[in-house]
Each structure stands twice: as structure tokens, then as C-alpha cells.
Amino acid sequence: MKKLLSILLSLTVLFVSCDSTDENSQDPKPVMPPEYSMAPDFDDFQTDGSQRNQTIENWFYSAVNVGVYSAILKGSLAIPVTAFKTTISQEPFYDTDAGVWTWESSFSANSNDFSIRLTADVENDNANWKGFISSSSLNVEDFVWFEGQSNVNGNSGSWTLYESPQNPSAWISVEWSRNEDRTVANADFTIEKAGDLQGSYINYNRNDNNDLNRSVEISNTQSNDLIEIYWNSELKFGRVKSPNHFGDSEFHCWDENLQDVDCS
């Protein structure tokens, strides 16, 4: 009887030791990059074109220019962007065989069903991210549609989004950051795809401490213009500067009703 108890006790200690070792061998779970790092909120500039008139020219011009980049992220790159957004709310697990943290989910985009496996390989204080996307209807399996790096505390990082499995070249690159209390955030989106817009960028900023708490700076290589837009995300008033469009280096403003007003 004593011998049996001794064996059972030894096995218990062994199991506990193994579990403890497995837990200790896991890399620290990295903080998920923020949604804005791939899909900033540009809903304040949604337009169907019918809103254009002389009294909201300043806001409308801003909306058209923001819409170019929004269309790329929501259209041409809808699959990787939607894939990443679906993983944000998922609980990850640690894949001990691969040595990576893994998020899994499914989603629909462009009238097709997909699955996403997002992995984070932690090395020291950094995480290397890969988004493996599959779709049986498109005969796509584990295509890395986006990848990036971040520090484990989730305060800065980068992304590269690729065009498609048929043309796996970089479409857009992103550099993003935020402060510790999440009141200030920044993301730079640069078009890498060859063509008229290659090298164009949009810099998105959020600063909850400012009256104009959102801003974008747009550099368009096709029109050789630099556009600056600032607005209040709650009250909707804002201002825009565009030397090419307005013929001056002044800001042009709109109020809470999107009506053109003199800048005070």
C-alpha cells in the first residue's frame, strides 16, 4: 500500500512539473496591434457625391481625398484588412509545437468565405506577425496576405499588406505607434504598388488632448500635392489646407454642420 501511494505521489509531482515547465516555456503573449494600424476610422468623411455644393466645398474636398485611401483599404485590400479586424476580439492560444501565439477566425469578403490564422512569434521584446489566409472557393491556402512586427507591449510596429496570391507583391506598408495611455496614436500608410500613386502616403493622427483631435496629411505623387486635414471627431468641424486646390497656403474651415466658414 505504501509503495502504491509512493508511486502515485511521484506521478503527481511529475505531472505538475511538466505542466509548470510547459507554462514557463511559453513566450509572453504580445499585445494585439490596434485596429487603426490597418483600418483607421474615416467614417466622418463618408459621402455619396450628392452632398457636394458650394456651402460644403471644404469638407467635401477633404472627404474625396480621404476616400481615395479609404477605398484602397476597404476595396483592394478588403481581404487582409477584414481578416485582421476579425482576429482582434478572438482569444489566442499558444501553439507549443510551432512556438507561436495563434489567433483563428473566419470571415467573408468580396462575396467569398475565408479563414484567418494570425500568428505572433515572440523574440525578446518583439513580436513577428503573419496572417495566413485560406479560402476553398478561391483555391487559396495559407497565403501570407499581411505580416508585420511590433513590440510586445503594443505601442509601436509596422505592417506590409500584399496585393493577392496571384500577385504577391507589397501593396501598402504601414508604420504605427501610440503612447502608453492610448490618448495619442499615429499611423503612416504608404503605397508601395507600382503605378501613378506609388510613394503616395496618408499620415493618420489621433490626439484626444486636442480640440481638433483627428488629422491626416496626404501626399499624392500623381497630383504633386500635400493636403492637411484636421477635424473634431465628435462635433465634426474641421479645416483643410491644399495649395494646389485652393491656390494658397491657408486653412479653409467648416463648422459642425459641414458648412464652409471663415477660419477664426
The amino acid at 1: M
Q: Residue ranges of the alpha helices (H) in the chain?
A: 2-25, 57-71, 78-87, 243-246
Average pLDDT, the chain: 89
Average pLDDT over residues 92-113: 96
With beta carbons less than 8 A apart as the criterion, state whether 97 and 118 touch: no
Query: What confidence score (pLDDT) does residue 53 get?
Result: 62
Instruction: Render pLDDT for 118-129 as a digit per residue (tens, 0 to 9).
Output: 999 999 999 999
Instruction: Render pLDDT for 83-92 as a digit per residue (tens, 0 to 9).
Output: 999 999 999 9
Query: What confidence score (pLDDT) does residue 140 get?
Result: 97
pLDDT band at 14 (very low <50, low <70, confident <90, very high): very low
Average pLDDT over residues 33-42: 92
Q: Is the pLDDT of residue 51 over 80?
A: no
User: ∠ CA(106), CA(202), CA(182), 5° rounding?
Assistant: 65
Q: Map grid coordinates 469578403 to a residue.
A: 109
Query: What confidence score (pLDDT) does residue 50 get?
Result: 58
Minimum mean pLDDT among 10-14, 78-82, 188-192, 221-225: which range?
A: 10-14
- Domain positions in the chain are 51-261
Report DSSP state, residue 27.
P
- The pTM of this model reads 0.86
pLDDT band at 181 (very low <50, low <70, confident <90, very high): very high
pLDDT band at 131 (very low <50, low <70, confident <90, very high): very high
Closest CA to 27 of 124, 119, 92: 124
What count of residues does the chain have?
264
H/E segment holding residue 51? none
Q: Is the pLDDT of residue 179 over 60?
A: yes
- Of residues 44 and 215, more confidently modeled: 215
Average pLDDT over residues 130-155: 97
Exposed (0-12), middle (13-18) or buried (19+): which is 209, by Cβ within 10 Å?
A: exposed
pLDDT band at 234 (very low <50, low <70, confident <90, very high): very high
Minimum mean pLDDT among 10-14, 92-96, 209-213, 226-230: which range?
A: 10-14
Joined grid coordinates for residue 223 = 497630383
pLDDT band at 32 (very low <50, low <70, confident <90, very high): very high
pLDDT band at 73 (very low <50, low <70, confident <90, very high): confident
Q: Is the pLDDT of residue 23 over 80?
A: no
Average pLDDT over residues 30-39: 95
Q: Is the pLDDT of residue 19 over 60?
A: no
